[in-house]
């Protein structure tokens, strides 16, 4: 699903955090948004992912403006996945139940968990597995409805280098299967895996490579 | 169903607090309703015994204050369709060492409504005791009532707590103690269909008296209305307290579980799904609280019924209709108390998950 942003601006009070952002993101690619803290990458990610309405400008998914979407919750459930810096798994649910939380087709759960290498842990709870395994479960939850695009905000922020590289490899692998990934990070290593790098500084896109 | 139970188990402490708050509120509603209902039903049952029509002093608020002339019994008894007329004096007085006891002066033809366990019906200078007060007073041979000593002629058993914990004497003795001729007449009819005609005829006998069918009397009796209204008000307060307890606890629960509801919103679960999830959780607690409150209430009522202090006067019963009513109230309490926190939970901005970073 192609995502386009036109002249995005966003302010918190009188402070702008995003100015004049125009982007065209092709479907099924691994896109990295990198920049220092306060550069506006998280705000851009939030707007592109439907979580935040921009002060001005518009976002379209395959030509459809988000403002025209009637039920944004249902739209998000079908088309968008999220991975956060912290896994945010629900602690009283097993990993499988966490993945199943939004699943539209539960038969996809086990194959997906198997592909992510956590099927053997499906019955365990988040406090019974490692940080990397938790984040894999969070990725499974994001992917379960085969979304067109998964947004991730600092998804490796709480992981060691080995697990961080494992997550990037997963993103790369799934993007090659057609799922787009848009990842905000200040981790320079992501550049080795992404198809496109969007660099940001002071709320402005400074470079796309 | 499994997910809400898991959520409740995970948040054990707050679940326990909500459960306790609801249990106390529901038990309070059970008890106040059962006790007030018991008082009304016991007094009603006493009046209904051999009483299709009841005659009192006109315009009186309480039968205890009613004073009617017993000479009217004969013309009423002579009316066509009247099977029997009995007169009663209703009063209360201390019986050493009890501070207050129900005293019933009754005409001799009403003695048969008291099932004797031992002894005989009272003559002049005698009383018979309900089995409850007989036990409480440790099987006395005499009692002192209004500074007069009465011999205990017999003991009767009554399912009506006011009678079983009371003293019955003949009408003349009651009249001397309470300085009145009679409090009420109870008219037993041959044909209930003629109650309106007979009621009108009795009312025409004397402008100082008022005859009503017993059902109509019970429906309009001010004391019952006062008891029922008080019970409803206290019940409503318990209901509101329960709701406030749930609102405050569920608000804390939602605050603790912000990330959970934020993630649900971010993965596209609808607001209705999140609200329903929380409503299920409190409904489960409400169901458990209802069952436990029911058990506690039955236990408390049993204790009260057998407590010497209450002389059997407080005899509450949890009836089927009361169970249904309190069940509906419990469900309503859970739903109303949870709705606001649940709506708040359903509106948690998933952006907060991003802004909290690694929180």
What per-residue confidence (pLDDT) applies to A109?
A: 92
Of residues A177 and B29, more confidently modeled: B29
DSSP one-letter string for A71-110? -HHHHHHHHEEEE-SS----TTSBHHHHHHTT-S-GGGHH
Stretch B277-299: mean pLDDT, rounded?
96
Cross-chain residue pair B263–A92, CB shorter than 8 Å = no
How many CB pairs below 8 Å do chains A and B form together?
74
Q: What is the pLDDT of residues B151-206, one digit of tens each?
A: 999 999 988 888 899 999 999 999 999 999 999 999 999 888 888 899 999 999 99
Does the pLDDT at position B286 exceed 50? yes
pLDDT at residue B158, as a whole number: 87
Q: Is A177 exposed, middle or buried (0-12, 13-18, 19+ CB in 10 A)?
A: exposed
Nearest-by-Cβ selection for A76 from B262, B268, B359: B268
Task: Please tell me if residue B253 touches chain A, with a CB cutoff of 8 Å.
Answer: no
Predicted local distance difference test score (pLDDT) of residue B357: 46
Q: How does residue A205 score in pLDDT terms, banded at 50, 70 and 90?
A: confident
CA distance B99 to B312: 14
Predicted pLDDT at B233: 94
- Among A28-37, A117-126, A160-169, B239-248, whose mean pLDDT is lowest? A160-169
pLDDT value for B308: 72
CB B67 within 8 A of CB B178: no
The two three-digit tokens of residue A146, written as one number: 């085969």
pLDDT of B359 reads 29
Higher pLDDT, B203 or B356: B203
Q: How far apart are CA B176 and CA B172, in angstroms?
A: 6
Helix residue ranges, H only, B49-153: 73-77, 131-136
Flag whether residue B349 sits within 8 Å of chain A, measured between CB atoms.
Answer: yes
Whether B83 and chain A come into contact, CB under 8 Å, resolves to no
pLDDT at residue B2 in the model? 61
A91 contacts on B by Cβ (under 8 Å): 10
Share of chain A above pLDDT 90, in %: 16
State the best of A43, A86, A103 to mutate against chain B, taking most chain B CBs within 10 Å.
A86
- Report d(CA A116, CA B279) in Å as an integer: 34
Query: Residue B358: pLDDT band by 50, 70, 90 thresholds?
Result: very low
Residue B45 backbone phi and psi in degrees, to 5: -60, -40
The per-residue pLDDT for B354 is 65
Find the residue in B nearest to A142 (Cα). B267
Q: Which residue of A has its CA nearest to B270?
A: A73
More confident call, B270 vs B298: B298
What are the tens digits of pLDDT across the range B122-151? 999 999 999 999 998 999 999 998 888 999
What's residue B86's pLDDT?
A: 93
What is the DSSP secondary structure assignment for residue B68, as one 8-state letter? B
Q: Which residues of B fall within a CB distance of 8 Å from A142?
A: 267
User: DSSP secondary-structure letter at B57?
Assistant: E
**Rounded-to-integer distance, Cα A19 and Cα A11, Å:** 9
According to the model, what pLDDT value does residue B210 have? 93
- For residue B180, what are the CA distances in angstroms to A49, B58, B176? 88, 15, 7
Whether the pLDDT of residue A158 is over 80: the answer is no
Q: What is the pLDDT, as a whole number, of residue A169? A: 84
Per-residue pLDDT tens over the stretch B44-93 = 877 777 788 999 999 887 888 899 999 999 999 999 999 999 999 999 99
Q: What is the pLDDT of residue B134?
A: 93
Candidates A73, A92, A141; nearest CB to B6: A92
B356 and chain A: CB distance < 8 Å anywhere? yes
> Lowest-pLDDT range, A150-164, B114-128, B150-164?
A150-164
Q: Rounded distance, CA B173 to CA B197, Å? A: 33
Q: Is B6 on the interface with A (CB under 8 A)?
A: yes
Please answer yes or no on whether B354 and A74 come within 8 Å at the CB atom. Answer: no
| Interchain CB distance below 8 Å, B267 and A46 | no
| CA quadruple B279, B284, B285, B290: dihedral sign | positive
pLDDT in tens, A79-137: 888 888 788 899 899 999 999 988 888 898 998 898 888 899 999 999 999 888 998 89
Mean per-residue pLDDT for A34-48? 87
Q: pLDDT of B257-267, one tens digit each?
A: 888 898 888 88
Query: What pLDDT shows up at residue B74?
Result: 92
pLDDT band, very low/low/confident/very high, at B305 (cuts 50, 70, 90): confident
Chain B residues with beta carbon closer than 8 angstroms to that of A182? none
Residue A47 pLDDT exceeds 70: yes
Chain B environment of A52 (Cβ under 8 Å): 351
Element (H, E) at A23: strand A15-25
pLDDT band per the 50, 70, 90 thresholds, residue A173:
confident
Q: Which residues pair with A151 in a beta bridge?
A: A82, A182
pLDDT given at position B123: 92
Q: Tell me which of B349, B352, B354, B359 to substitute to probe the interface with A (most A C-beta atoms closer than 10 Å).
A: B354
pTM given for the model: 0.76
Tokens of B323: 């169970």
Give residue B186's Cα distance to chain centre: 24
How many alpha carbons fall within 13 Å on the CB side of residue A193?
25
B305 touches chain A (CB under 8 A): no
């Amino acid at each position: 699903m192609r995502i386009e942003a036109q002249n995005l601006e966003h302010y918190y009070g009188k402070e702008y955090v995003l100015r004049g952002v125009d982007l065209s993101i092709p479907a099924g690619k691994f896109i990295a948004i990198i920049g220092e803290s306060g550069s506006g990458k998280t705000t851009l990610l939030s707007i592109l992912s439907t979580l935040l309405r921009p002060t001005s400008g518009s976002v379209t998914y395959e030509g459809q403006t988000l403002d025209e979407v009637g039920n944004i919750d249902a739209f998000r459930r079908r088309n968008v996945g999220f991975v956060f810096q912290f896994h945010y798994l629900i602690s009283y649910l097993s990993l499988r139940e966490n993945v199943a939380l939004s699943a539209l087709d539960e038969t996809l759960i086990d194959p997906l968990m198997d592909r992510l290498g956590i099927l053997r842990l499906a019955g365990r709870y988040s406090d019974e597995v490692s940080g990397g395994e938790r984040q894999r479960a969070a990725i499974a939850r994001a992917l379960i409805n085969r979304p067109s695009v998964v947004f991730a905000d600092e998804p490796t922020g709480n992981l060691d280098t080995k697990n961080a590289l494992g997550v990037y490899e997963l993103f790369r692998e799934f993007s090659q299967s057609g799922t787009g990934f848009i990842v905000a990070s200040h981790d320079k290593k992501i550049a080795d895996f992404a198809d496109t790098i969007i660099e940001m500084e002071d709320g402005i896109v400074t470079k796309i490579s | 169903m499994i997910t809400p139970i898991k959520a409740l188990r995970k948040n054990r402490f707050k679940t326990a607090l909500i459960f306790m708050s609801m249990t106390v509120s529901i038990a309070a509603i059970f008890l106040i309703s059962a006790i007030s209902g018991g008082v009304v039903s016991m007094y009603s049952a006493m009046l209904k015994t051999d009483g299709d029509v009841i005659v009192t002093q006109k315009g009186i608020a309480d039968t205890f204050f009613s004073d009617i002339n017993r000479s009217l019994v004969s013309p009423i008894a002579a009316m066509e369709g009247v099977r029997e007329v009995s007169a009663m004096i209703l009063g209360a007085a201390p019986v050493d060492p009890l501070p207050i006891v129900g005293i019933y002066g009754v005409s001799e033809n009403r003695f048969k409504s008291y099932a004797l366990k031992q002894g005989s019906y009272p003559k002049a200078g005698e009383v018979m005791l309900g089995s409850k007060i007989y036990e409480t007073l440790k099987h006395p041979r005499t009692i002192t009532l209004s500074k007069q000593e009465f011999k205990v002629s017999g003991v009767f058993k009554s399912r009506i707590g006011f009678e079983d914990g009371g003293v019955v004497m003949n009408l003349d003795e009651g009249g001397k103690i309470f300085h009145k001729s009679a409090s009420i007449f109870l008219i037993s009819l041959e044909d209930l269909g003629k109650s309106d005609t007979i009621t009108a005829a009795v009312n025409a006998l004397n402008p100082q008296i008022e005859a009503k069918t017993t059902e109509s009397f019970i429906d309009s009796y001010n004391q019952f209305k006062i008891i029922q209204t008080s019970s409803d008000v206290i019940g409503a307060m318990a209901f509101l307290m329960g709701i406030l307890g749930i609102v405050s606890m569920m608000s804390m629960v939602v605050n603790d579980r912000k990330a959970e509801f934020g993630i649900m919103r971010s993965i596209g679960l609808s607001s209705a799904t999140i609200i329903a999830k929380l409503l299920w959780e409190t409904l489960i607690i409400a169901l458990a609280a209802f069952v436990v409150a029911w058990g506690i209430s039955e236990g408390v009522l049993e204790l009260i019924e057998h407590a010497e202090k209450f002389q059997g006067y407080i005899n509450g019963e949890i009836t089927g209709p009361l169970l249904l009513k309190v069940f509906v109230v419990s469900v309503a309490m859970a739903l109303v108390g949870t709705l606001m926190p649940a709506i708040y939970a359903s509106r948690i901005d998933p952006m907060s998950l991003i802004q909290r970073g690694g929180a």
